[in-house]
C-alpha cells in the first residue's frame, strides 16, 4: 500500500533521478568547423585582402584551435599564422547575431562583415541584415555572452 508520504517521496525522487540518468552534454567546440574545416574551407585572410569570400585549398592548410583552416595562397596562410586572432572570425566562426542573442548557429561564408578590423559571420545574408542594424550593440551583447554560449 502506498502512503501519502511514500507518494510524495516518489514525486521528489523522480525528477532528481531523471537528471542523474541524463548524459552530460558536451560543450560545442570553440571553432565552428563543419567536417573539421573552419569557414567551410574559405580563406579568412581573403575577406580582408580581397574584400570577398574566396575558397581556400587543402594544399594551403593550417591547424588552429582544433580546426583546419584553408587558404587561397601561401601568402595568406603565412599572414594567418603570424596573427591568427587578427584574421579568424569572432565567436569562433559561429553566427555573430546568434551569439548576441545567447546562442550559436552555423554560418554562411557569404554572410560576412568586417567591423573595426574584425571578421564577423552570420547564419545567412538575411540575418546579417538584421545584425547590421546595430553592429556595436550586437557586438557588445555577443562579447558578454561569449564563450558561455558554447556550453548552452
Domain boundaries, the chain: 33-151
pLDDT digits (tens, 9 = 90+) for 14-51: 333 333 333 445 689 999 999 999 999 999 999 999 99
> Residue 147 in contact with residue 140, Cβ under 8 Å?
no
**Residue 59 contacts residue 70 (beta carbons within 8 Å):** no
**Non-local CB neighbours of 73 within 8 Å, separated by 6+ positions:** 43, 60
Query: With pLDDT > 90 as the criterion, what percentage of the chain qualifies?
Result: 82
pTM > 0.85: no
Q: What is the pLDDT of residues 104-152, one digit of tens each?
A: 999 999 999 999 999 999 999 999 999 999 999 999 999 999 999 999 7
Beta strands in 1-152 (DSSP E): 33-34, 37-38, 57-64, 67-71, 108-115, 118-122
Instruction: Report pLDDT for 3.
Output: 53
Residue 28: how many CA atoms within 13 Å on its side-chain side?
A: 21
d(CA 77, CA 56): 10
Looking at residue 152, what is its pLDDT?
79
What is the per-residue pLDDT across 78-92, written as a single tens digit (0 to 9) for each? 999 999 999 999 999
Amino acid at each position: 500500500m502506498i502512503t501519502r508520504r511514500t507518494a510524495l517521496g516518489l514525486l521528489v525522487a523522480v525528477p532528481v533521478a531523471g537528471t542523474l540518468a541524463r548524459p552530460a552534454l558536451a560543450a560545442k567546440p570553440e571553432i565552428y568547423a563543419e567536417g573539421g574545416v573552419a569557414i567551410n574551407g574559405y580563406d579568412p585572410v581573403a575577406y580582408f585582402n580581397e574584400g570577398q569570400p574566396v575558397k581556400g585549398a587543402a594544399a594551403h592548410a593550417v591547424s588552429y584551435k582544433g580546426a583546419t583552416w584553408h587558404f587561397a595562397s601561401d601568402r595568406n596562410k603565412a599572414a594567418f599564422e603570424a596573427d591568427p586572432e587578427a584574421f579568424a572570425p569572432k565567436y569562433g566562426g559561429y553566427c555573430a547575431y546568434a551569439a548576441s542573442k545567447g546562442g550559436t548557429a552555423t554560418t554562411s561564408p557569404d554572410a560576412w562583415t568586417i567591423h573595426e578590423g574584425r571578421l564577423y559571420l552570420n547564419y545567412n545574408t538575411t540575418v546579417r541584415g538584421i545584425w547590421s542594424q546595430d553592429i556595436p550593440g550586437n557586438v557588445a551583447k555577443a562579447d558578454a555572452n561569449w564563450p558561455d554560449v558554447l556550453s548552452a
